[in-house]
Chain A
Amino acid sequence: MATPLKVNRIGLEPQVYKGGKTTLCAGCGHNAISERIIDAFYEMGVDPRQVIKLSGIGCSSKSPAYFLGGSHGFNAVHGRMPSVGTGAMLANKKLIAIGVSGDGDTGAIGIGQFVHLMRRNLPIIYIIEDNGCYGLTKGQFSPTADLGSKLKTGVVNDLPPIDTCALAVELGATFVARSFSGDKRQLLSLLKAALAHRGTVMLDVISPCVTFNDHEGSTKSYAYVKDHDDPVEEVSFVPFFEDIAVDYAPGTTQEVTMHDGSKLFLKKLEEDYDPTDKISALKRLHETARRGEFATGLIYIEPDRDDFLTLLNVVDEPLATLPLDRIRPGKEALEEIMEGLR
């Protein structure tokens, strides 16, 4: 008798969630992120056929080919993935969208579309695989490179970085988090929580570029990030389909109920931090940055705000497949219009 296969709650094996073989550099942080995405979608029991994977252009944007091989994918143009994702979600609100971008794809060429995506609160998980440089064109600085960070060639960055998390909080994203490709546990919890959220998830994952930006003097190297990672809380995620009681001492942990009924338990590491408060979130981001550190974890969450599709008041079924009689008004409608023009 064959050994029973390991399956998730919808009966799918882990294998189904894998993608093609990666062509990124060995040790690239992006590959670790792909692995966490695979784990999160498997563990949450998401049907891959309902998922769309989107990306722009760059090393990061290649990665959707390396996870969820059973999902439709769209590798769009540089910096413009948000609009393509928006269109797809307008067409079919039942889809689950995950977009992977990079710090150049988001912070430079794509900053406009990023800004407006955050404002709309479209249901999408937007991940920035953030290494502070352009890998595919061999290591130029990107807009998230820190002031004073040094390239291999010795060139020092003299412009202030764009903090994509602060920007996202400011602009209206309803789930803003930062993590580190090297922190398996935190990243997995955040990704699972992201799947339970309805609205825009902005997840900035610092993901060192082993080839061009992992040296002494770089503020996005493994060593530097490891030393300067400053978690805002300990994140535990309990999905709606698991009946797990979490014990915690009163006042030590904040509990957040997600859109689908899942729960987030945020164990406080600092007394005054409240991730449901915008001002608290921004203050924390600025303070950590001033110390040259990275605030990681769930920075900000607003679980109840209407998403873009709710605001547009579209019908419950996917617009893409509505039958003709629902999308073409009858003869009498045309006649009424014509009469009005006579």
Chain B
Amino acid sequence: MSPTDLAVQEQQAARNKQRVVNDFSIQIATVNGSGSQTANMVLLRSILLMGVPVSGKNMFPSNIAGLPTWYTIRASKRHYVARKKEVDFLVAMNPETAKEDVLTLEPGAAVVYDEPLKLNALRGDLIFYPVPFDALVKPVCPDAKLRRLVRNMIYDGILAKLLGLDPVLMEQALAKQLGKKAKAVTLNAGALKAGFDYAEANFTKQDPYFIEPMNETAGKILIEGNTAAAIGCMMAGVTVVAWYPITPSSSLCESLITYMKKYRVDKTTGKATFAIVQAEDEIASLGMVIGASWAGARSMTATAGPGISLMGEFAGLAYYAEAPAVIFDVQRVGPSTGLPTRTAQGDLLQAAFLSHGDTKHIMIMPSSVEECYTMSQEAFELAELFQTPIFVMMDLDLGMNNWMSDGFKYPEKPINRGKLLTDETLKRIGEWGRYKDVDGDGITYRTIPGDGMPVYFTRGSGHNAKGQYSERPDDYVDNMDRLARKFETARKFVPKPAIDAVPGAKIGFIGYGTSDWAIGESRDQLREETDLKTSYFRLRAYPFNEELGNFIDAHERVYVIEQNRDAQLLQLMKLELTPERQTRLRSVLHYNGLPIDARSITDDVLAQEGFEVARKTVRTAGSSAGMTGGE
């Protein structure tokens, strides 16, 4: 380190005398396939174990090994778990992106970097901690082949020392992450210590960032939304699963397989109470789901946008022939192949009307991992209650990132299989027709093959109340009107919105899914920075219910916040809202593939509200760095 560097660092230290505790973000830039995930998870869990609210977001390439990847960890004493736009602490391990990663930092940020990269020459307004990773890894990992994997654990040790993480808790986190692999635990613990010792011997703390123990995470779990949904499906009693691998949904079915093998195998016979099939494509996946649910099983599939596109025809069949189906759409960036490993809420309109003709579907929209768990169960209930596909609209940010949550509660209610025809019902209603609406709610009684009840012929072609083939205009209209009536009934049964009505607020926010986290933080920013009060309507399902209109009426301007280009939710709302209500709607859109952040919302709303916004050109690594070419 040159004397000039030291001088710069001292200046910085003076400027940053104010300690920043439990409120900053760390970004780790590595090459994918280099084993950084273990190091990152250990860091994340260590902060959690220190009682500090934390979130982790992985920005990774659509590639197996060798391309840049960024992992962002945010510690927030205020429980903000959305992505933070600004990076406060950078760990630069990737030579390819290091320069740009450093150039995009805000002044005063800290950088731990691989010494040979000489990043300290790039900027005079940052704090640099050079680390000779190669030299440090050699003694702790004699096996040269393993060094690449162990090397990253050294930055955990460095950060432990610099940020004040408890080394005992770090080792605990390490053991949790690596489980029973004793050799790996020993090697990594050595690396952790080597990093810690190096930092202790060579660095004077220059940056203001600290992690200090809190008591905010007792009993919390760390879990990905896909895993949470899988647990929900298992608890919902799913019996048939058909899927086709696609990012970012694959881990939903993969973790489901793991759990089902453990908890759903009959102890006496050793046989499975489920069937999970990796189908030949998404079309076959949904076909199998429909066949299974038609024959009475609780069945599901999970996919992403391209799979949803392929499922169009079958989705229409399930709507029209009235077969239950649970379809998880873990949304990624489109159109087409798009950005397969980035997040978006771009499938909303597509899912709502998937298939030709007058088709429309019920969608439910979890915001949290806890809702991934509970809404998975609700999805199966709704699918059987309404005998129709239910789309669970997740996204990559929710599905594939680790989120902190309270432990999940065991379901209290037994499952409800919906209107299955019984002898009793048959006696009550007299004559049964598969599509005869005897209760006036649009939902008809069904029988399943092998149940000994009256049979019917299921078809995607025109049919009358008895399920017979019909091209008669009156039969067609009656059936379509009944389906519309069923959709109306669904308004009362789908998950209700979560509304935070703030007295005196003239501005309302409407959002859904993962935007929730950034919206909450943005509302705080608006209130604290500009005294702007906002109410909030978190949508949890489509079709909407009447509370949507009431919320809009209660506010002068309503910002619909979503992660797509075309304001898809706003467009969907416009189809139902009166022209007067429509005039109150504004749009806040975020669609660069990164999870939405609070500052972007705040700035956008302030600009639309006529405030002078000092537009900071904060550029986040990953949003700017070299993800071009290289296919």
Cβ of B273 within 8 Å of any chain A Cβ, yes or no, is yes
Contact with A along B439-471 (1 / 0, CB 8 A): 000000001111110011111110000000100
Within the complex, what minimum Cβ distance (angstroms) separates A307 from chain B?
Answer: 13
Within the complex, what minimum Cβ distance (angstroms) separates A338 from chain B?
Answer: 4
Cβ of B415 within 8 Å of any chain A Cβ, yes or no, is yes
Cβ of B222 within 8 Å of any chain A Cβ, yes or no, is yes
Contact A313 B272 (CB under 8 A): yes
Within the complex, what minimum Cβ distance (angstroms) separates A168 from chain B?
Answer: 16
From A95, A112, A315, name the one whose CB has the most chain B CB atoms within 10 angstroms: A315
Within the complex, what minimum Cβ distance (angstroms) separates B205 from chain A?
Answer: 31
Cβ of A28 within 8 Å of any chain B Cβ, yes or no, is no
Cβ of B252 within 8 Å of any chain A Cβ, yes or no, is no
Contact A77 B280 (CB under 8 A): no
Contact A91 B240 (CB under 8 A): yes
Cβ of B198 within 8 Å of any chain A Cβ, yes or no, is no
Cβ of A288 within 8 Å of any chain B Cβ, yes or no, is no
Cβ of A149 within 8 Å of any chain B Cβ, yes or no, is no
User: How far, in whole Å, are A95 and B448 apart by their CA atoms in the complex?
Assistant: 11
Q: Which of A112, A116, A327 is close to B273, meaning CB atoms less than 8 Å apart?
A: A327
Contact B296 A84 (CB under 8 A): no
Q: Which of B239, B288, B295, B460 is close to A95, meaning CB atoms less than 8 Å apart?
A: B295
Q: Which of B269, B287, B451, B459 is close to A83, meaning CB atoms less than 8 Å apart?
A: B287
Contact with B along A104-127 (1 / 0, CB 8 A): 000000001101100000000000
- Of B156-164, B258-266, B498-506, B552-560, which stretch is located at the interface? B258-266
Cβ of A326 within 8 Å of any chain B Cβ, yes or no, is yes
Contact with A along B398-421 (1 / 0, CB 8 A): 000000000110110011000000
Within 8 A of A (CB), among B256-305: 259, 263-264, 266, 269-275, 277, 279-281, 283-299
User: How far, in whole Å, are A269 and B461 apart by their CA atoms in the complex?
Assistant: 46
From A75, A83, A113, A115, name the one whose CB has the most chain B CB atoms within 10 angstroms: A83
Cβ of A49 within 8 Å of any chain B Cβ, yes or no, is yes
Cβ of B5 within 8 Å of any chain A Cβ, yes or no, is no
Within the complex, what minimum Cβ distance (angstroms) separates B495 from chain A?
Answer: 21
Contact A88 B263 (CB under 8 A): no
Within the complex, what minimum Cβ distance (angstroms) separates B558 from chain A?
Answer: 37
Residues of A within 8 A of B272 (CB): 312-315
User: How far, in whole Å, are A314 and B223 apart by their CA atoms in the complex?
Assistant: 29
Within the complex, what minimum Cβ distance (angstroms) separates A302 from chain B?
Answer: 22
User: How far, in whole Å, are A94 and B448 apart by their CA atoms in the complex?
Assistant: 13
Residues of B within 8 A of A333 (CB): 263
- Of A35-43, A64-72, A152-160, A290-298, which stretch is located at the interface? A64-72
Q: Which residue of B lies closest to A309 (CB)?
A: B275
Contact B288 A83 (CB under 8 A): yes
Contact A324 B259 (CB under 8 A): no
Cβ of B75 within 8 Å of any chain A Cβ, yes or no, is no
Within the complex, what minimum Cβ distance (angstroms) separates B301 from chain A?
Answer: 10
Say whether, besides A77-B313, A83-B279, A324 and B296 are in contact (CB < 8 Å).
no
Say whether, besides A52-B295, A74-B294, A315-B269, A90 and B281 are in contact (CB < 8 Å).
no
Contact A92 B460 (CB under 8 A): no
Cβ of B220 within 8 Å of any chain A Cβ, yes or no, is yes
Within 8 A of A (CB), among B372-422: 407-408, 410-411, 414-415
Cβ of B314 within 8 Å of any chain A Cβ, yes or no, is yes
Say whether, besides A76-B460, A88-B449, A314 and B295 are in contact (CB < 8 Å).
no
Cβ of A6 within 8 Å of any chain B Cβ, yes or no, is no
Say whether, besides A314-B274, A329-B264, A337-B259, A90 and B450 are in contact (CB < 8 Å).
no
For B, the interface residue count at a CB cutoff of 8 angstroms equals 70
Cβ of A85 within 8 Å of any chain B Cβ, yes or no, is yes
Contact B280 A113 (CB under 8 A): yes
Cβ of B175 within 8 Å of any chain A Cβ, yes or no, is no
Contact B288 A84 (CB under 8 A): yes
User: How far, in whole Å, are A65 and B459 apart by their CA atoms in the complex?
Assistant: 10
Contact A50 B292 (CB under 8 A): no
From A76, A94, A335, name the one whose CB has the most chain B CB atoms within 10 angstroms: A76
Q: Which of B280, B289, B460 is close to A87, meaning CB atoms less than 8 Å apart?
A: B289
User: How far, in whole Å, are A90 and B241 apart by their CA atoms in the complex?
Assistant: 9
For A, the interface residue count at a CB cutoff of 8 angstroms equals 58
Q: Which residue of B lies closest to A83 (CB)?
A: B287
Residues of B within 8 A of A74 (CB): 291, 294, 321, 457-459
Contact A341 B299 (CB under 8 A): no
Cβ of A138 within 8 Å of any chain B Cβ, yes or no, is no
Residues of B within 8 A of A328 (CB): 234-237, 411, 415
Q: Which residue of A lies closest to B458 (CB)?
A: A74
Contact B408 A91 (CB under 8 A): no
Residues of B within 8 A of A324 (CB): 237, 414-415
Cβ of A319 within 8 Å of any chain B Cβ, yes or no, is yes
Residues of A within 8 A of B456 (CB): 72-73
Within the complex, what minimum Cβ distance (angstroms) separates B275 from chain A?
Answer: 4
User: How far, in whole Å, are A52 and B447 apart by their CA atoms in the complex?
Assistant: 13
Contact B223 A49 (CB under 8 A): no
Within the complex, what minimum Cβ distance (angstroms) separates A248 from chain B?
Answer: 39
Contact A90 B297 (CB under 8 A): yes
Contact B281 A87 (CB under 8 A): no
User: How far, in whole Å, are A324 and B412 apart by their CA atoms in the complex?
Assistant: 12
Within the complex, what minimum Cβ distance (angstroms) separates B254 from chain A?
Answer: 15
Contact B287 A113 (CB under 8 A): yes
Q: Which residue of B lies closest to A327 (CB)?
A: B237
Cβ of A322 within 8 Å of any chain B Cβ, yes or no, is yes
User: How far, in whole Å, are A319 and B450 apart by their CA atoms in the complex?
Assistant: 12
Cβ of A316 within 8 Å of any chain B Cβ, yes or no, is yes
Contact B266 A326 (CB under 8 A): yes
8 smallest CB-CB distances across A and B, nearest first, come from A87-B291, A83-B287, A320-B296, A91-B297, A87-B292, A327-B237, A87-B288, A91-B295
Could you jot down 5 A-B contacts, CB within 8 Å?
Answer: A49-B452, A85-B291, A92-B450, A312-B275, A316-B271
